[in-house]
Amino acid sequence: MVLLFCMVSKSVVAIARPVISGGRDPCSVSDFKVLCRSVVKGQKNVNAATEVSIRELMKRTTKAKEVAASGQKSGGGLKTCYSNYDSAIGNLQKALKDLKKNDGFSLNINLSASLTEFDTCNDAMGGAKASNVFARSTKTLHEMADNCLALSTLVKQ
């Protein structure tokens, strides 16, 4: 009986959500708003905006991982980035599952984990002072992960 009630109330929440979260620009909470808006493209629904941001980050990380793979034999930053991108993709996959389940708590943990992976890669590439193309792309990935985390705080539990 209790279980049935939970299931019913959950579906009511799911139906009501798009109405509640509509209207505002979700990217207003992000640190890198221009980048956020270029990915979210006007999507007002918070869950949809978070999902599209995570998917775009996964796509770009997969590409960056290929670049890192070709250079990782030279060691240094690229080797770190290769393995960190791999972990980051795993964490983002988990985050997508968490989002589908409206599990905001786990979503936050798994997105934070991916942000740390990008952070470490960024540092390994010389951080902000690095000027090569790969280092710049890893900086962008880090900013996108930061945006995903910001958007995820709007996801209703």
Ligand X SMILES: *[C@@H]1O[C@H](CO)[C@@H](O)[C@H](O)[C@H]1NC(C)=O
Residue 106 contacts ligand X per CB under 6 A: yes
CA separation for the pair 72, 82 (Å, rounded): 7
Interface with ligand X includes 109 (CB under 6 A)? yes
Residue 114 makes contact with ligand X by CB under 6 A: no
Closer by beta carbon to ligand X, 103 or else 123: 103
Q: Which residues 58-97 are close enough to bind ligand X by CB under 6 A?
A: 94, 97
Please give the radius of gyration of the chain, using alpha carbons only, rounded to the nearest integer: 17
Q: How far is CA 7 from CA 2, 13, 156, in A?
A: 9, 10, 17
Of the two residues 136 and 156, which places its CB atom closer to ligand X in the complex? 156
On whether the CB atoms of residues 58 and 89 are closer than 8 A, the answer is: yes
Choice from 51, 98, 117, 146 touching ligand X (CB under 6 A):
98
Specify the 3-state DSSP secondary structure of 130.
coil
Binding region for ligand X (CB under 6 A)? 94, 97-98, 106, 109-110
